[in-house]
């Protein structure tokens, strides 16, 4: 099994050398080429290759599905950036900011269609299974994004609600990437499902980490401004747990702070102070560990030689031990 970075390299070599779109009309396709060349970590396609290599040498179908996954992921980012009115992504103008909302809708649509054409290239033997997983996942990612938008308008979001949203918006695609790779490697349904569970739990742990770093990360390592979620009044694992455990005074103050439009450092510090008083940091770490343990349990149960699993364990470490 090759490590994550090697698989990312293998994927990028092929993906970046492939013509994914026609040239004309360039008003439709140029935005997609622009967005793809902004790069990205390519974690999801690499997970597809890794799921594949766990059971076999990496085959061509795995590369096609990995490309479909990456195109799908980019399609969701383009459309999300419209909904979020996001000016920047990866430090550069988003597609809607650069080309307008209408073109961003259409370019995203045609990117999704291109993803399905990649799937159409795989062996007939697997196409129904892969399409079924891919469609279900795509549907769930849309559901997750809708729930995320719904939560912005909701006063109270419970932890189970938030877990469901994160599972749909983030975890299922990581999980399905591993699962589809495994299916194409000839894995049994049981083994492919265990990898899926591994992905779901890693995804949840990753999101807890992400929420945690926004409040407790070290700015110079985190790479972005601390407290971005707090300034945006975003619901996160931290705010949800704080509101559930705060005393009435803390709760009142937190609710007040998280409804003001105020991007001051004082607001961030006051919110983080309440988080600390409510021991949200300790709670978040232990919840993260719970999901990591669940993930490892699923990985242990996959019926392949233990030493083949090292790269997957390293992925968990890579995603979760990061401080940025």
124 binds a second copy (CB under 8 A): yes
Q: Which of 88, 113, 293, 303 binds a second copy (CB under 8 A)?
A: 113
Binding to a second copy (CB under 8 A) within 68-87 occurs at 79, 82-83
96 is written with which tokens? 């809607």
Q: Which residues ranging from 154 to 193 are in contact with a second copy (CB under 8 A)?
A: none
* List of E strands, the chain: 88-89, 92-93
111 token code pair: 């990117």
- Torsion angle of the four alpha carbons 240, 194, 60, 4, in this order, in degrees rounded to the nearest 10: 60
Strands 88-89 and 92-93: antiparallel
Cα gap 175→70, rounded to integer Å:
14
- For residue 179, CA distances in Å to 55, 79, 246, 310 come to 11, 25, 40, 17
Binding window for a second copy (CB under 8 A); candidates: 126-134, 237-245, 247-255, 260-268: 126-134
Q: Name residues contacting a second copy, limited to 229-258 (CB under 8 A).
A: none
Q: DSSP states of 120-173 as a string?
A: TTS-HHHHHHHHHHHHHHHHHHHHHHHHHHHHHH-S---HHHHHHHHIIIIIHH
CA distance 173 to 200: 9
Q: Which stretch binds a second copy (CB under 8 A): 56-64, 119-127, 224-232, 259-267?
A: 119-127
Does 138 bind a second copy (CB under 8 A)? Our answer is yes
**Whose Cβ is closer to a second copy: residue 135's or residue 273's?**
135
Question: To the nearest whole angstrom, how small is the minimum distance from the Cβ of residue 33 to a second copy?
Answer: 14
> Which residue, 145 or 179, is less far from a second copy as judged by CB?
145
**Measured from the CB of residue 135, what is the shortest distance to a second copy in angstroms?**
4
Which residues contribute to the site for a second copy (CB under 8 A)? 25, 27-28, 79, 82-83, 101-103, 105-106, 108-110, 112-114, 116-117, 119-120, 124, 127-128, 131-132, 135, 138-139, 142-143, 145-147, 149-150
């Amino acid at each position: 099994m090759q490590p994550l970075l090697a698989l990312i390299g293998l994927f990028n070599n092929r993906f970046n050398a492939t013509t994914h779109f026609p040239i004309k009309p360039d008003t439709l396709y140029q935005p997609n080429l622009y967005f793809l060349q902004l790069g990205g970590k390519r974690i999801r396609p690499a997970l597809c290759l890794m799921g594949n290599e766990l059971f076999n040498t990496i085959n061509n179908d795995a590369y096609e599905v990995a490309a479909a996954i990456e195109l799908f992921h980019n399609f969701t980012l383009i459309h999300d950036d419209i909904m979020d009115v996001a000016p920047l992504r990866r430090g550069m103008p988003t597609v809607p900011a650069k080309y307008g909302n209408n073109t961003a809708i259409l370019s995203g649509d045609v990117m999704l269609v291109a993803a399905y054409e990649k799937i159409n290239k795989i062996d007939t033997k697997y196409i129904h299974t892969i399409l079924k997983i891919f469609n279900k996942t795509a549907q769930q990612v849309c559901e997750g994004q809708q729930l995320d938008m719904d939560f912005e308008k909701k006063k109270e979001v419970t932890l189970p609600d938030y877990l469901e949203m994160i599972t749909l918006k983030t975890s299922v695609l990581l999980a399905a990437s591993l699962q589809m790779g495994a299916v194409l490697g000839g894995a049994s349904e049981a083994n492919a499902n265990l990898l899926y569970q591994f992905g779901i739990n890693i995804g949840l742990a990753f999101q807890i980490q992400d929420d945690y770093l926004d409040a407790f990360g070290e700015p110079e390592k985190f790479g972005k401004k601390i407290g971005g979620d707090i300034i945006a009044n975003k619901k996160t694992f931290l705010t949800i747990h704080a509101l559930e455990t705060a005393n009435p005074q803390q709760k009142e103050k937190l609710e007040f702070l998280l409804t003001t439009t105020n991007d001051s450092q004082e607001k961030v510090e006051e919110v983080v102070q309440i988080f600390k008083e409510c021991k949200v940091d300790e709670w978040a770490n232990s919840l993260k560990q719970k999901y990591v343990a669940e993930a490892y349990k699923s990985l242990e149960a996959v019926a392949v030689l233990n030493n083949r699993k090292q790269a997957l364990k390293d992925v968990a470490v890579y995603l979760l031990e990061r401080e940025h």
